[in-house]
């Protein structure tokens, strides 16, 4: 299931390396020796968790169904429009950060606010595509990987 999750992310325009770059960007001020390879290993470790795979598969499936106009109303309109009052995308993403405790939540909030690199690109609306869930999932994977690195450097 790890491979299918990675492939699905890639089919939606997100590589693990791009997520690792976000992790490096937010952690290098605390850990100057941190490498992209280490961040990539962290992203992979996060994506090997079953609850993370389930969240990614679920969120991306909803984005894809919304693109094809296949969700029942009123959900179709809400997801396709990325209605800002719709918070289920964030709640689903929090199931990823929760795996790493409160520091994961802090990192997620920071990424949601600053939207660096790939997260900023995902947030720009492209015609005909739906990334309502994807942007939060990617932020959460990066936040979880960053938290994992923080925990491991503390030991």
In the complex, the smallest distance separating the C-beta of residue 11 from Mg ion, rounded to whole angstroms, is 18
In the complex, the smallest distance separating the C-beta of residue 64 from Mg ion, rounded to whole angstroms, is 15
In the complex, the smallest distance separating the C-beta of residue 117 from Mg ion, rounded to whole angstroms, is 16
- Please report, for residues 36, 64, 115, 128, 134, the alpha-carbon distance to residue 21 in angstroms, rounded to integers and kept in the order given: 7, 25, 13, 27, 17
The residue (of 32 and 128) whose beta carbon lies closer to Mg ion is: 128
The residue (of 13 and 41) whose beta carbon lies closer to Mg ion is: 13
Per the structure block, which two tokens stand in for 122?
């995902």
- Residue 99 per-residue DSSP state: G
The residue (of 59 and 104) whose beta carbon lies closer to Mg ion is: 59
In the complex, the smallest distance separating the C-beta of residue 133 from Mg ion, rounded to whole angstroms, is 6
The residue (of 5 and 132) whose beta carbon lies closer to Mg ion is: 132
Per the structure block, which two tokens stand in for 119?
């997260």
Q: Which helix (H) or strand (E) holds 75?
A: helix 75-81
Residue whose structure tokens are 């923080």: 150
* Residues in touch with Mg ion (CB under 5 A): 89, 132, 135-136
Torsion angle defined by CA atoms of residues 91, 92, 93 and 94, in that order, rounded to the nearest 10 degrees: 50
């Amino acid at each position: 299931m790890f491979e299918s999750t990675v492939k699905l992310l890639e089919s939606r325009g997100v590589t693990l390396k791009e997520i690792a770059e976000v992790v490096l960007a937010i952690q290098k001020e605390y850990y100057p020796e941190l490498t992209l390879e280490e961040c990539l290993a962290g992203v992979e470790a996060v994506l090997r968790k079953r609850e993370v795979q389930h969240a990614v598969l679920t969120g991306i499936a909803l984005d894809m169904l919304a693109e094809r106009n296949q969700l029942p109303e009123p959900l179709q309109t809400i997801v396709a429009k990325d209605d800002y009052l719709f918070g289920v995308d964030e709640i689903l993403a929090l199931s990823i950060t929760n795996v790493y405790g409160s520091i994961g939540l802090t990192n997620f909030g920071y990424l949601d606010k600053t939207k660096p690199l790939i997260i900023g690109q995902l947030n720009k609306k492209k015609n005909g595509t739906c990334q309502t869930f994807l942007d939060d999932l990617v932020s959460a994977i990066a936040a979880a990987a960053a938290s994992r690195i923080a925990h491991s450097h503390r030991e």
